[in-house]
Structures are given as structure tokens and as C-alpha cells.
Amino acid sequence: MLLKSLTLENIRIFKGVNTLDFTPVHSSKEQKSIILIGGKNGAGKTTMFESILLCLYGQNSPDGRMGKKKYEKYIAQMTARNKKTEDPYNPAIDVVFEFSHSGTTHSYSVRREWITHPQFSETLTVKRDGEILSDMEVDQWQDLLNELIPPRFARLFLFDGEKIQNLVEDNTDNLYLRDSFKSLLGLDIVERLKADLGIYLTRHLKVKEVHHITQKLDELETSGKDIDTKKDHYLQDRAQVQSRYDQISSEIERQEQIVASEGGSFARKREELKNQKNQLDHQITTIEGDIRELCAGLFPFAIIPKYCNLLKQHLIEEDTIQARKRSEDLIRSNVDELNRILKSPAFWSDLSISSSQKERVRTKLSTLLDEKFLMGNKIDRSILIHHLSQYEYNRLLQWIDDSITNVPKKMNDLSLQLENLTSKRQKVAEMINKAPSDDVIAPLIQKLNELSKHLGELSEKLRVADEKIHEFDSQLKEIERQRLKLDEELQGVKCGSKKMQLAQQVTLILNEYMKELQRQKVSQLSDNILSCFTRLIRKDDYVKDILIDENYAITLYEPDGHAIPKELLSAGEKEIFAVSLLWGLTLTSGRQLPFIIDTPLGRLDSEHRGNLVMDFFQHAGDQMIIFSTDTEIDKDYFRTLQPYIARAYHLNYSKEERQTTISPGYFWQSEPVELES
């Protein structure tokens, strides 16, 4: 299947008739598969993207079945705005595509148009090779489109670059992926043949021999249809909840931007900042008290160290004089006692000397003591000023030493602390002043909280829906197991017909063939996905193997054999893996499939962007339709892709006219793309 053209008539900002040719160029000389559509945000890229799905499926869009009123409201929103002097516009969308089946290629034209006033109506027209379909009723045309392009296929190959990573998660997108595997890999044909053989066997066996088996099969078929109906209902409801979830997520992102622009980041920290300021005020008060206490104590002496040193020297001298004086007084008392002893008769009682000689000895000893130990008038007592006790002297010396050495350092430390704390308090005060008033920010925060609460409720609904869908899948799997068992019982019934025996043998062979074909296809798919992922991620040692189990659940493995949890992949890695998955699926199926991508590079870094541009865009498929801004496919990427671009269009939005016009070429008219006729 390849898209050939898209025509929009009065769709949103596309007034009048606007046609884009999507035909790629494939010849022996050149292969140009890229259709590049450039436009800035709001120019209508997403409108074109949504219009393709709307034209093909109408009210039964893959994003969720809409009720009548909701659908009418949606079409009203999709309709271009008319001026008051003009009649209301009637919107219409045309999609032309080629589809090959059994070696034959047909061109299908699908036109869906609406009348919105005075009464809503919708008209679907389907042509094949230019002729209205006459071999089926009009009410069967939508069924034909669903058969040619199943909605689940559309979800895979028409994707939003910002949402494609959802395929990696275990959600509804992944369920659609698993349901599409068998058809894309050609396994559904074998299952259909088995079902036809089963019908043939059932019709030709005698009723009395198989009545109880066919009755059970009928019951299983009824149960399966009921479960399928319930599952489809949950899938549709989930898709609507997912759409609302995405919408609320976008609203939260916009609201956070509004809150940030109003100083919300400061507002959220207001109380924390106030507490921080109070702590700083307390610390500053404490430091200031310490400084005042220091100033009331020894700090004044610290600013005159010269005089403190002089005072210290004088005190030391005074202490020396006082020490000598105390020694002299002690010695003098001892000398007086010695003179008293020398004068006493008892001292001389054992000596026989004259009185004159005794007096001479005593006088000589007294004189010697005076000369050697008593300073007498030699001590200068005039410099004694303070007359301090020894305790007071030691305390003064300690204070002087502290004033000269410890106090200046302590004052310097306190001053630095005070300066730092004051600077921090000033910054915190400025941040508090930047925070908007509660009257401004409170309504914004309240709305943000309400949106977050609503998002949590929707998330819970998604979780419940996923559990129910998985439950339905388990029930369907059990029904299929029972059906296969009953089929084996039917095949075991004795039958003399050679045709019946052949049908039974073919069924058994098809069972074995189905298992082997599925194993080979899944193995080939795993190899293709791994090859594409390694090619795009450019990390040879990141993922060593990819395994797909019988339920088509995919697991990535590191070189050491450990599984890589999907939640550990970054948003960019998830997008690369999802693209690799679709690329590998296309390679394995061997089908001609288009890729239609909206905003493909928005969440990728420069390296991964380059990998997509150099490999995926150029080589992934027979048709690559890219909706991009000038910041995604920029000038450098455009030059790289130009040899592969078949056609390029520029969407130019006029604020004055409030509409978008389409012109050939990309953003840079100086570098036009040569369009093929």
C-alpha cells in the first residue's frame, strides 16, 4: 500500500481546496521515497496527519470510537472558520492510495465529506480504479476500507514521533501491535485456511457423531464473540481515556509553564525560604552578640598591640622587682635571726676566743650577707605602679596575650561569618520578594493541583482497563486452547470419506506448519529488530539479543544475558526502539508499507537525530511521509536527505488571513526540491 495524494477542503486552517501529491519516485535510475512537509508549530501539520485517519475511518477512528454528538462536535472543530458574511463551509477530505493484492494493484479513492448546517450529515464515496464500487452495497464500503487498511495497522504506521515510544510500554498500543503481528507476518492466512478446513469437516461429518463436539464449539464461539465485544468496548473506552490523559498531561505542562513564568518556582519555595531567613536571622543575632561581647571585653586592647606589649614588658619588670623585694625581706629576717644567734653566748660556748674576736667575726658575717644577698637601695622602687598580686599579674598577662593573638583571629572569623550570613540573608530576601503574591499564584497552583488529581484518576482508569483487557486476552487464549482440543477430537472421529481423511491430514500438517512458520517468522523478526536497533542506536554493546515469546511480548537482553527493564530506557531510546520495531516488522513482512511520521525528532538528541536521518528516513520503506518543523529537519539534515526527497511542501500560516497555504519546496526557497511530474 502506498498513499498517492491527500486533498483537504475547508479543514481547519486549510480553506478552499488543497492537494498534496504523495507519490514517491521509484525507477532504475533513482529511488526517492521521502515526502517532506515542513511547517512551523500551528501551521497545520498535525491537522493533515489527523485528516488521513479521519478520511479512512470517520467516526471509528483508531484513537477511539466517538459517540454521535462528540463526533459532530469534532467535525465542527475540524471545519474551517467562515467569515460572518459567508455561508458555513462544508468540509471534505480525499485520500488516494494504491493497494496490491494477489499480484494486482488497484488505485482506491476515498472521499469523506460533511454538511454541518442546518443538519449534520456525512457522505462516504469509495472508487476503485476511477469507478464507483458497484459490486457491493454502500454500507459495506467502510468494511472494505477496514479490511484493506485495518485501523490497528494505521496506529502502527501513522504515528506521532512524541508518542511512538508508547509501543514499548505494556499498554493498549502494545496490544494493537501484538494483534497486528500475525497479519503482517502472513500467519493469519494459515489460520484462515485451518478455520475453513474446520468448517468443511464439521459440515460433512454425521451429526450424530459430532453433535456434542459441535455444540461445545458453538458455545466457545459465542463466548469468544462476547469476550471480543467486551474487549473492543474496553479498548475503545481506554483509547478515549488515553486521549483525555494525553490532553490533561499537555494542560499540566502548559500550566507549569504559566506557573513558572509567574514565579511559581519561588512561590513553591516561599515557606522554605521564610524558614531559611528566620534561621539566618537567628544565626546573625548570635554572631552579633558574640561580636558585641568581644568588643566589651578584650577587643579594644587588640587594636593597640604596641601598647599592650609595652604594658606586658612593664608588668614583667614590676614582677621581677617585687620578686626581688620579697626575697630580700625573707633574707633580711634570716640575717637578723643570724645576728641574734651570733650575739648569744650559747653559740660561742664551745670556742675559746675573746669577745673582740667574736664581735669581729659577727660583723664580718653580717657585712658579707648584706653585700651578697641584700640589694638595699640598689633596687629601683620608683617604677612600681600597679602593685599587683601574683594572681592579678598572671591574669593580666593572659589577657594581654589573648588580646594580641587570639582575639584578632576570633574577631576576623566572626566578621567573615557575619558577612557570609548577611549575604545569604540578602539573597533569600530577594528570592522571597520575587515570589508572587498568593492572590496571583494561588489560583494557578490550585488549577495545577486539580489537573494533577484528574491525571491520577485517569491513570487509575487506564490501569483498571489494562487489567480487564489482559483478563479478556487470557480468557480468549483459554477458549482457543479448548477449541484446538475439540478440533483434535473432531479429527479423531472415524470417517470413510477420502476427502475427509485428506482434510484431516492437511489440518494436522497445517498445525505443524503453523508452529514452524511462526517460529521462523518470529526469529526473523527478532533478528531484524535487533539489526535495526543496533543500526540506529549506534551502541554495539548495549543490546545483545531480542526475544519475542509466544504472546509476542518483546524482551531486550544485555551482553551478559540480563534482561533490560523497559522503564530504564530513556524517552529517546524508547523512540529509537519503537522505530526499529516497526522497521523490522516491515522488513520481515516484505510488504510495501508507508511510514507517516509527525514531529519525528522532537525528543531525540543530536546523535539519535542523525541516525534517523542517515539510516531510517533514507532506507526504511518505499514511502516516508515526514511532517517536520525547521528545527527538526534543519538545513543540514535537509541537504543530507535531498537526494532521497521526491517532493517537498511548505505550510505557511498567515496570521492576518488565519489560514495556511501550501507551496512546493521546503522552508528555504533558495534550495528547492526538484519535484517529479
- Give the Cα separation of 221 and 203 in Å (integer): 16
Residue 89 lies in a domain: yes
How does the average pLDDT of the chain come out, rounded?
80
| β 645-654/92-101 pair status | unpaired
- Please determine, for residue 604, whether its predicted confidence score (pLDDT) is greater than 80: no
**What distances in angstroms separate CA 541 from CA 233, 373, 537, 559, one per listed residue?**
43, 98, 10, 7
Task: Identify whether residues 154 and 114 lie together within a single domain.
Answer: yes
Residue 335 lies in a domain: yes
Residue 485 lies in a domain: no
Task: Identify whether residues 411 and 289 lie together within a single domain.
Answer: yes
CATH number at 511 reads: 3.40.50
Average pLDDT over residues 655-672: 79
* Position with higher pLDDT, 69 vs 599: 69
- Please determine, for residue 454, whether its predicted confidence score (pLDDT) is greater than 80: yes
Task: Identify whether residues 667 and 579 lie together within a single domain.
Answer: no
Q: Tell me the CA end-to-end span of the chain in Å, nearest whole number.
A: 21
- Please determine, for residue 42, whether its predicted confidence score (pLDDT) is greater than 90: no
Asked whether 262 and 442 are in contact (CB, 8 A), the reply is no
pLDDT (0 to 100) of residue 494: 46
Average pLDDT over residues 635-664: 89
Say which range, 190-194, 419-423, 458-462, has the weakest mean pLDDT: 190-194
Q: Which three cell numbers stand for residue 345?
A: 653566748
pLDDT (0 to 100) of residue 131: 92
Number of domains in the chain: 3
Amino acid making up residue 54? L
Q: Residue 639 — very low, low, confident or very high, per pLDDT cuts 50/70/90? A: confident
pLDDT (0 to 100) of residue 676: 43
Helix (DSSP H) and strand (DSSP E) numbers for the chain: 20, 17
Q: Of 554, 573, 596, which residue constitutes the final position of a domain? A: 596
Beta-carbon contacts of 525 under 8 Å, excluding residues fewer than 6 positions away, are: 181, 185, 548, 584, 585, 588
- Give the Cα separation of 67 and 58 in Å (integer): 11
Say which range, 58-67, 364-373, 625-634, 667-676, has the weakest mean pLDDT: 667-676
CATH number at 148 reads: 3.40.50.300
- Give the Cα separation of 619 and 621 in Å (integer): 6
- Give the Cα separation of 119 and 601 in Å (integer): 42
Task: Identify whether residues 405 and 351 lie together within a single domain.
Answer: yes
pLDDT (0 to 100) of residue 93: 96
- Please determine, for residue 19, whether its predicted confidence score (pLDDT) is greater than 90: yes
Average pLDDT over residues 312-330: 79
Q: Residue 496 — very low, low, confident or very high, per pLDDT cuts 50/70/90? A: very low
Average pLDDT over residues 586-614: 78
Q: Of 573, 596, 619, which residue constitutes the final position of a domain? A: 596
Task: Identify whether residues 577 and 650 lie together within a single domain.
Answer: no
Average pLDDT over residues 24-44: 86
Task: Identify whether residues 371 and 278 lie together within a single domain.
Answer: yes
- Give the Cα separation of 329 and 324 in Å (integer): 9
Asked whether 210 and 202 are in contact (CB, 8 A), the reply is yes
Q: Residue 508 — very low, low, confident or very high, per pLDDT cuts 50/70/90? A: confident
DSSP 3-state assignment of 333? helix
Task: Identify whether residues 455 and 540 lie together within a single domain.
Answer: no
Say which range, 371-380, 519-528, 540-549, 577-586, has the weakest mean pLDDT: 371-380
Task: Identify whether residues 430 and 526 lie together within a single domain.
Answer: no
Structure confidence by residue, pLDDT tens digits, 169-183 = 655 445 555 666 666
Structure confidence by residue, pLDDT tens digits, 125-171 = 999 999 998 888 888 888 888 888 877 667 667 766 556 656 666 55
Q: Residue 661 — very low, low, confident or very high, per pLDDT cuts 50/70/90? A: very high
- Please determine, for residue 346, whether its predicted confidence score (pLDDT) is greater than 70: yes
- Please determine, for residue 18, whether its predicted confidence score (pLDDT) is greater than 90: yes
* Per-residue 3-state assignment (H helix, E strand, C coil) for 603-621: CCCHHHHHHHHHHHHHHCC
Per the rule left: phi > 0, alpha: psi between -120 and 50, beta: everything else, 74 is alpha
Q: Residue 124 — very low, low, confident or very high, per pLDDT cuts 50/70/90? A: very high
Say which range, 49-53, 92-96, 393-397, 453-457, has the weakest mean pLDDT: 393-397
Task: Identify whether residues 144 and 174 lie together within a single domain.
Answer: no
What domain range includes position 62? Answer: 1-28+38-162+599-609+628-676
Structure confidence by residue, pLDDT tens digits, 209-250 = 567 777 888 888 889 889 988 988 888 888 888 888 888 888
Residue 213 lies in a domain: no
Q: Residue 672 — very low, low, confident or very high, per pLDDT cuts 50/70/90? A: very low
* Position with higher pLDDT, 441 vs 446: 446
Residue 193 lies in a domain: yes
pLDDT (0 to 100) of residue 671: 47
Task: Identify whether residues 439 and 307 lie together within a single domain.
Answer: yes
Structure confidence by residue, pLDDT tens digits, 376-434 = 545 555 556 666 777 787 888 888 888 888 888 988 999 999 999 999 988 888 777 76
Q: Of 449, 466, 483, which residue constitutes the final position of a domain? A: 466
Residue 33 lies in a domain: no
pLDDT (0 to 100) of residue 675: 44
pLDDT (0 to 100) of residue 590: 76
Task: Identify whether residues 531 and 456 lie together within a single domain.
Answer: no
Q: Residue 206 — very low, low, confident or very high, per pLDDT cuts 50/70/90? A: low
- Give the Cα separation of 365 and 359 in Å (integer): 10
| β 545-548/158-160 pair status | unpaired
- Tell me which residue of 316, 317, 319, 330 sits closest to 374, measured CA to CA: 330
Residue 218 lies in a domain: no
Phi and psi at residue 383, in whole multiples of 5°?
-85, -5
Task: Identify whether residues 340 and 279 lie together within a single domain.
Answer: yes
Residue 169 lies in a domain: yes
> Which one of 152-156, 350-354, 364-368, 628-632 scores highest in mean pLDDT?
628-632
